[in-house]
Amino acid sequence: MAGIVTAVSNSAVHSMSKPNVDAIRLKAGLGVENDAHMGVTVKHRSRVARDPGQPNLRQVHLIHSELHDDLHGAGFGVAPGQMGENITTKGLELLALPTGSRLCLGDSAVVEVTGLRNPCRQLDGIQSGLMAATLGRDERGDLVRLAGIMGIVVADGEVRPGDAITVELPSPPHTPLQPV
- How confident is the model over 33-83, as pLDDT tens digits? 999 999 999 887 788 888 888 999 999 999 999 999 999 999 999 999 999
Handedness of CA 137, 139, 141, 144 (dihedral sign): negative
- Measured in whole angstroms, how far is the alpha carbon of residue 56 from the centre of its chain? 13
Rounded to an integer, what distance in angstroms lies between the CA atom of residue 132 and that of residue 71?
11
One-letter amino acid at 160 equals R
Percent of the chain topping pLDDT 70: 100
Q: Are strands 143-145 and 149-155 parallel, antiparallel or unpaired?
A: unpaired
147 — pLDDT class (breaks 50, 70, 90): very high
Helices (H), the chain: 45-50, 65-73, 130-133
Fold of 2-168: M1 Pyruvate Kinase; Domain 3 (2.40.33)
Domain residue ranges of the chain, discontinuous segments joined by +: 2-168
pLDDT value at residue 18: 97
Reported pTM: 0.96
One-letter amino acid at 156 equals D
Question: Mean pLDDT, to the nearest integer, of 16-38?
Answer: 97
Q: Is the model's pLDDT at 137 over the cut of 90?
A: yes
In 3D space, the residue among 79, 57, 60 whose CA is nearest the CA of residue 68 turns out to be 79
